[in-house]
Amino acid sequence: MNLPLPKEEAQPGVSSPGVPVGSVLPGRTAERLDGAEPSEVVVLAGSPLASQEGGQGVGSTLQGIREAKRISRNEASARVKYSVRQIEALETEQWGRLPGGAALRGFVKNYSRYLGADVDALLIMLDDQAGTEGIRAATTSTAGVQAAPMGPAEMPLHGEAVRRPWGWLVIILVLLFVAGFYAVERGWVPDSWLVFDWLKSLKS
């Protein structure tokens, strides 16, 4: 005669079969399992706490939020007035392609605000992840890569390039004037070309 086996009682802190302890339950940010201590918290993947504990940085966190909202980089670029390359560099955390200090913090702040993320938490993550000095060091140590200017400053500065052609043009005009004056004085220019009387008086 087979006797029924006694049922095993659930032990505190042990989940039911098929649900491992510490697994993420969909739709909830944090939940205390039955029998678990108050400090044993289940964190939803994608939350700021999970990003820090999982080793995710500022860029990957922002990218995850953007993708969760189904926003393309082109759409984000049009709204925050930063180029697609700058957004890509931030999300992939290529600090060598971005300036450091206040410019980078402003970029993260504006982008986080646009995505509806926790601005203060992400700025703290930025400081903890690289810091101002670390980002500057990464920028200067990247060989052959020039830091991308931010926002409207990305447009190339043509001031110096424009001034140089004007300088050459002035020099050329001065040389032509001197050559013409010398040709008139030497009588190399026909009188029919001299439409002004003062030019004719220059002929020797």
- Smallest CA-to-CA distance from 24 within 40, 38, 44, 41 is with 44
Residue 12 or 167, more confident: 167
Residue 45 or 100, more confident: 100
What is the per-residue pLDDT for 15?
A: 42
- pLDDT surpassing 50 at residue 182: yes
Maximum distance among all Cα pairs of the chain, rounded to whole angstroms: 143
Tokens of 115: 């995505």
What is the per-residue pLDDT for 183?
A: 78
Please name the residues in contact with 7: beta carbons below 8 A apart, sequence gap of 6 or more.
none
What is the per-residue pLDDT for 60?
A: 92
- pLDDT surpassing 70 at residue 80: yes
* Domain ranges, ordered by start, for the chain: 48-151, 160-200
Reported as a single tens digit per residue, the pLDDT across 8-64 is 444 444 444 443 444 433 433 333 333 434 333 333 334 444 444 445 788 999 999
Length of the chain: 204
Reported as a single tens digit per residue, the pLDDT across 63-74 is 999 999 999 999
What is the per-residue pLDDT for 87?
A: 92
- Smallest CA-to-CA distance from 88 within 129, 146, 148, 8 is with 148
What single DSSP character describes residue 95? Answer: G
Architecture of domain 48-151: Orthogonal Bundle (1.10)
CA distances from 144 to 84, 96, 97, 156 (A): 21, 10, 10, 18
